[in-house]
Structure 1
Amino acid sequence: MTLLQAIGYFLVEAARSLLRAWRASAVAILTIALSIYVGSFVLLVTGNLIEATSAWQEDVRITVYLAETASEEDRRRVEQALAEPGWTGEIRRVSREEALQRFSRSFPRLSDLAASEDLALPESFEASLLVSADQEGLAVWRREIAALPGVEQVDDDREWLDSLAQLVGAIRSLGLVIGFGLLIAAAFTIASVVKLTAYLYLEEITVLRLVGATEFFIRGPFYMAGLLQGLAGGLIALVVLSLTRWSIAARAGDAFWRPLLVGDFLSPAAQAGLVLLAGSAGFAGAFVSLRRERLEAPSDP
């Protein structure tokens, strides 16, 4: 029997064994699907967040919010202070009306609030920061601007971007740890299913031994069963992840956070890697479960 013929035999026998113990097999497949889904969802969301954070870091801005009592002289003084050090690129003056328009575009579901008189957004100046800006001097410069007459508040994008990057890193680490833990649990579940299935076939295995079948030929179908369960779980996880992404995108509409969560799907390489990881976990579970088993039918008393 050639290798291809052996693989074909393993596939047929593995399918038979999975159907014979379909309830336990379904539990194992769903368990590994859950583990891959958790890990892939974390990778999807954090990947989009990391990409967005990197893009934002290339366009860092400092925003100076003006008090309602700020005079025209105060505005000129603030604009001059923003341009003096040479650390800034474009400087834009944002009126209250433009700020309200931005709010309406970013939060379309709160458009009624933007149209009411209860929401009073301040006038501000926005200045893009150059990458070459001196960090220590920049901190002193910010404090000087904050102390100018007519200035209500000074925001630096770098502060919240650094916090966001740390948060994304923590979420990714936690999610991957949880996903890996579930993957280990799924491998043990598959191991139990494969061992149970093997015991159901003990009499057939005994006959195979009598006719001279090798261990590779006897155990191959069970290893293939573990591999198939893992691959099936990985594929199910990706299908559910795709449906989840589609559902979120449909519900989010034009919300500003939509591209952050579901902007780009996992790359083909990442998808293939996750499915192979699931298959490897299934194969490993099957291999470990049968490693010390002799798979012999009990002898008659």
Structure 2
Amino acid sequence: MARLFTFLRQALSHLRRSPLRAGTAVLTIGVVFLLLSVFGLLGYNLSALAEALGGNLQVSVFFADSATEAERQAVRQAVRESPLAAAVEELSPAQALARFRDRLGADQGMIEGLGDDWLPASLEISLSPAGRDTVALEPWVASLKALPGVEDVQHARAWLEQFERFLRAARMGALAVGLLVLLAALVIVSNTIRLAVYDRQEEIVILKLVGASDAFVKIPFYLEGLLLGGLGSALGVSLAWALATLIQLHPGGLLPEGIGGLAIEPRSLPWEGWLALLGGGPALGLFGTRLSLGRHLKG
């Protein structure tokens, strides 16, 4: 334990000798982990939003004005018997208009003068998990459209699929950018340690001449890389955590109220995610040190 403290003091002494170099490395790593944390937060929240939108997906069956009660009953029966439907709510024209007014909110003036019965009666169908699959949903929607008394059938599956495609593309883009910034941080750490090796070249030669082991020479450099990476990730992740907390506490003005009638509730990463990001800094520092020592401190 005493030797470990000795190595740690040496590493801290190395950092104090070159504060500008060490500070630049810490700030660079901090920016990298701030970006990685923001990418993680965006991906986590977009995935949660896509899942919520999928769970909130509905099919609307609009009855024709000329539909008879027998035809409407046949449509109700067809919907209730389908395994794709989880729940069914029937809306009269007045109920449909009241719900539409609620969704418009302050913009209700747009529909003034249109009367009270211009919306058709409809069935609002909440889908089961099986109903969220396009392969099963499309034929069922087509069969509902073909039933007598049905004017139209609408659903937002196509829009959700576009959103999911955008989400996949965003993940790939974030992964590519994340790898690039990680590579940049790795180069910074490696160069910082390489310069430290050059600064202490004479001291290292003397240590080797008096019989110091490779481990005795290398451990302070590994601790230096560990400290640089740890301080950098702590800085970046702390800023990202503060940003996530601020958005959670005061989402108004920073985020839209909702998408597709679904309220947006910003989420922070789970604690495992924050710990993984924090641990990434020391790991990056150790790996960068290993690369540098392998090239510039052989034997």
Q: TM-score, normalised to structure 1's length? A: 0.77
Q: % of aligned pairs identical?
A: 22
CA deviation profile, 1:191-250 (whole Å, cap 9, x unmatched): 111111222222332332343221211121111111111111211121111122133335
Aligned twin of 1:144: 146
1:46-195 alignment to 2 at 5 Å?
46-64=43-61, 71=65, 73=67, 81=75, 83-85=77-79, 86-87=81-82, 88=85, 89-93=87-91, 94-104=95-105, 111=106, 114-117=107-110, 125-132=123-130, 134-135=136-137, 137-144=139-146, 148-149=150-151, 151=152, 154-195=153-194
Give the 3 Å change call, closer, same or farther, for CA 174–205 of structure 1 in structure 2.
Answer: same
1:289 aligned partner, one-letter code? S
SS of structure 1 residue aligned to 2:211: coil
Contact 1:44 1:261 in 2 (8 A): no
- Partner residue of 1:24 out of 1, 21, 25: 21
SS of structure 2 residue aligned to 1:48: helix
1:255 aligns with 2:267: no
Contact 2:226 2:286 in 1 (8 A): yes
Taking the aligned partners of 1:192 and 1:132, their CA distance within structure 2 comes to 54
SS of structure 1 residue aligned to 2:295: coil
Aligned twin of 1:269: 272
Contact 1:45 1:260 in 2 (8 A): no
Q: TM-score, normalised to structure 2's length? A: 0.77
- Partner residue of 1:13 out of 10, 13, 17: 10
SS of structure 2 residue aligned to 1:252: coil
CA RMSD in angstroms comes to 3.4
Taking the aligned partners of 2:125 and 2:191, their CA distance within structure 1 comes to 62
1:262 aligned partner, one-letter code? P
1:204 aligns with 2:203: yes
2:222 aligned partner, one-letter code? Y
Give the 3 Å change call, closer, same or farther, for CA 146–233 of structure 1 in structure 2.
Answer: farther
Q: Which runs of 5+ in 2 are unaligned?
A: none
SS of structure 2 residue aligned to 1:204: helix
CA deviation profile, 1:256-286 (whole Å, cap 9, x unmatched): 36975722x2222222222222211111111
Shift of 1:187: 0.6
Shift of 1:101: 1.6
Taking the aligned partners of 2:263 and 2:19, their CA distance within structure 1 comes to 40
1:277 aligned partner, one-letter code? G
Q: Which runs of 5+ in 1 are unaligned?
A: 105-110, 297-301
CA deviation profile, 1:59-109 (whole Å, cap 9, x unmatched): 43113468xxx74858996686355243332224252232222343xxxxx
Shift of 1:183: 0.6
Q: Which moved more, 1:138-147 or 1:188-197?
A: 138-147
Contact 2:25 2:228 in 1 (8 A): yes
Give the 3 Å change call, closer, same or farther, for CA 142–23 of structure 1 in structure 2.
Answer: farther
1:95 aligned partner, one-letter code? A
Shift of 1:173: 2.1
Taking the aligned partners of 2:166 and 2:35, their CA distance within structure 1 comes to 18
1:280 aligns with 2:297: no
SS of structure 2 residue aligned to 1:291: helix
Taking the aligned partners of 1:64 and 1:38, their CA distance within structure 2 comes to 45
How many residue pairs get aligned? The number is: 278
Shift of 1:190: 0.9
SS of structure 2 residue aligned to 1:91: strand
1:116 aligned partner, one-letter code? G
Taking the aligned partners of 2:280 and 2:263, their CA distance within structure 1 comes to 27
